[in-house]
Structure 1
Amino acid sequence: MSELRGNVALVTGAGSGIGRAIALAFARQGARLGICDINEAGAAATVSQIEEIGAEAIAVSMDVADEAAVERGTEAVAARFGRIDTMVSNAGIQIVHPIEEFPYAEFRRMIDIHLGGAFLLTKACVRHMYPQRSGSLIYMGSVHSHRASPLKSAYVAAKHGILGLSRTMAIEGAKHNVRSNVICPGFVRTPLVDKQIPEQAEKLGISEADVIAKVMLKDTVDAEFTTPEDVADTAVFLAGFRSNAFTGQSITVSHGWHMG
C-alpha cells in the first residue's frame, strides 16, 4: 500500500508546471488533492488529469497573497476531505530587473506571493494539522534560497525568507508532530523559466543560448535542467516520511548546481 494512501494534500500553483507535477505524483500514490491556483482553468485541467488516473481532487481558486482567499480555499479542502495532511506551498512568479530599476511595487508583489503566500498558507493549514497531531509542511524554495544571481533581488530575498519560515515551523510544529522542509530546485524548464530566458538575454546583453548555457546551467555537473518530476519525487518523499527525524531541512534538486 502506498504511504500516501488517504493523505490529503493541498498544493498551490497546481494549475501548471511543478505544482501540477507534484499533484499528479501525489495522486498516483493514493493522495486526495486540493488543487489551488489563481488560474481556475489550469486548476480544473489538473483535476481532470487526476480524475483520469482514478484519484480524487477538487479545484480551488486561490490568490495566495489574499489572506481571505487562502483561508476560504484551505477550509474548502478541509471540508471536502475532512483533514489536511500535507501542505505544498508552491505558487510563485518571477520578475527580473537590476535593483536600480526594480519598481518597489513589483518587489513587494514578489515578496507577497512567495513569502507572504507561504506564511498565510502555513497559518491556515496548521489550524487543521495541530489538532490531529500530524502533518507535513513543504515549501518550494530554490537554489536561490542559498545562492544569489543578478537581476533577482526580490526572488532571492523571498526564497531566503522561506528557509527562515520553514525552520521556524520545524521548531513550532514539533510539539504537534508537524514536520517542515524546503525543496530547492535548480532551473526547471517551466513557463516561468522560459519567460526569463529572453528577459535575461536583454538585460545581460547576451544571446538566449548563452543565458541557458552560461547562466542557468553553467554550474551544474551535466548541463541538464531539473525536471518537474525530479521535484515531485522529492515532495512525495517529504510527505511520506514517517517521523520528525527529517524536519527543518532544505533538499537541493539541481544537478549539482548547489552542493551542501
Structure 2
Amino acid sequence: MRLDNKVALITGAGQGIGRAIAEHYAREGARVAVADLELGRAEQVALAIVAAGGNAIALGMDVTDEQAVEQGVARLVRHWGRLDIALANAGIQHIDPLHRLSYADWSRVLKVHLDGAFLVTRAALQQMYANGGGTMLYMGSVHSLEASPLKAPYVAAKHGMLGLCRAVAKEGAEHGVRSNIICPGFVRTPLVERQIPEQARELGLSEEEVVRGVMLKNTVDGEFTTLEDVAELAVHLAAFPSAALTGQSVVVSHGWHMQ
C-alpha cells in the first residue's frame, strides 16, 4: 500500500472531495484524521473508514480558528505520535458580481480558504520539521490558475493558495517537506451543486445551460472531473518519493486548463 502507516490530516473531510480522499488514503494504509467544521460529519466518515478496515479519528475543526487548528493537530499527534501528510481542503464558495459583492462575503471566502490554509500549514510544518519531513498538500482549483466571472473571492483565494504552496516548497525543502497543490476542474460535490442554480439565476440561463455551456464548456469531452480522479491524484502526490515534484500545481480537469 502506497501510504502504509503514514499519518494524514485532511480538513473539510466530512463530505465531497475531502471525504473521498480520506477514504482513499485509508485504503492505501494511512491513518487518517478526518477534520471538519461539523464534528458529526467527521465522525460519520471516520466510522465508515474504520468499518471498512481502515484507521481513522474524527476532529471538529474550524480552520479559521487558530486555537481549534492548533488543538486539533496536537490531538492527532498525541494519538499517533506524528504527522506525515496534511491536506488543506476546507473551502466555501460565494457567487456574486464584483460590483455587488459585500466585503463580508469577500472576507468570509478568503478567511476559510487562505487564512485556514495558513493556519493548517503552520501547525503541520511545526510537526513535520520536528519529524524530519512530510508532505503538505492544498486543494486548489483551475481557479488557482485562471478566472471565471462571479467568483472573485474564490479565484483570489485559490490563487493565494498556489502562492502559499510555492512558499512552503521553498522553505520546507531543507526540512524534508514537499508541497504541491491539486487543481481540479468542476467536480459534482455539494459545493458545486449549489453553484448551478445560483449561476443560472445570475446569468439568466437554465441549469443545463450552466452545466454544458459554462462549467464544462472548455473541457475536451464535456465531462465532470470525478471524486475518484482527485483522490487518486492526492494519493500519488502524498506517496511521491522525492522533492523532484514540489511547488507544483497539478491540474485534473478533463483538459479545461492545460499548462
What is the TM-score of this pair, normalised by structure 2? Answer: 0.99
SS in 1 for 2:250: strand
The answer as to 2:215 corresponding to 1:216 is yes
Residue in 2 that maps onto 1:181: 180
Percent identity (aligned): 56
For residues 178-257 of structure 1, the aligned pairs below 5 Å read 178-257=177-256
Q: Once the 2 structures are TM-superposed, how far is the Cα of residue 41 of structure 1 from its aligned partner? A: 1.4
Residue in 2 that maps onto 1:40: 39
> In the TM superposition, what whole-angstrom CA distance separates every residue of 1:21-69 from its partner, at most 9, and x where no partner exists?
0000000000001100001111011101110121111100000011111
Runs of at least 4 residues off by over 2 Å: none
> In the TM superposition, what whole-angstrom CA distance separates every residue of 1:139-190 from its partner, at most 9, and x where no partner exists?
0000000110000000000000001000000000000010000000000001
Aligned partner of 1:140: which letter? M
Q: Once the 2 structures are TM-superposed, how far is the Cα of residue 133 of structure 1 from its aligned partner? A: 1.1
Give, in whole Å, the separation in 2 of the partners of 1:134 and 1:18.
25
Residue in 2 that maps onto 1:89: 88
Give, in whole Å, the separation in 2 of the partners of 1:168 and 1:14.
24
Aligned partner of 1:69: which letter? A
SS in 2 for 1:87: strand
Give, in whole Å, the separation in 2 of the partners of 1:194 and 1:148.
19
Give, in whole Å, the separation in 2 of the partners of 1:78 and 1:112.
25
Q: Once the 2 structures are TM-superposed, how far is the Cα of residue 106 of structure 1 from its aligned partner? A: 0.8
> In the TM superposition, what whole-angstrom CA distance separates every residue of 1:193-225 from its partner, at most 9, and x where no partner exists?
000000000011111110000000000000000
The answer as to 2:148 corresponding to 1:149 is yes
Aligned partner of 1:56: which letter? N
Give, in whole Å, the separation in 2 of the partners of 1:33 and 1:220.
33
Give, in whole Å, the separation in 2 of the partners of 1:36 and 1:251.
23
Residue in 1 that maps onto 2:61: 62
Residue in 1 that maps onto 2:122: 123
Residue in 2 that maps onto 1:24: 23
Aligned partner of 2:59: which letter? V
Residue in 2 that maps onto 1:111: 110
Which runs of 5 or more residues in structure 2 are unaligned? none
Aligned partner of 2:132: which letter? R
Aligned partner of 2:22: which letter? A
Give, in whole Å, the separation in 1 of the partners of 2:205 and 2:233.
34
Give, in whole Å, the separation in 1 of the partners of 2:247 and 2:257.
18
Give, in whole Å, the separation in 2 of the partners of 1:259 and 1:3.
28
What is the TM-score of this pair, normalised by structure 1? Answer: 0.99
Q: Once the 2 structures are TM-superposed, how far is the Cα of residue 3 of structure 1 from its aligned partner? A: 2.5
The answer as to 2:3 corresponding to 1:4 is yes
Give, in whole Å, the separation in 2 of the partners of 1:52 and 1:241.
28
The number of residue pairs the alignment matches comes to: 259
Aligned partner of 1:224: which letter? E
> In the TM superposition, what whole-angstrom CA distance separates every residue of 1:69-94 from its partner, at most 9, and x where no partner exists?
11111111111110000001100011
Which runs of 5 or more residues in structure 1 are unaligned? none
Give, in whole Å, the separation in 2 of the partners of 1:222 and 1:55.
35
Aligned partner of 1:221: which letter? V
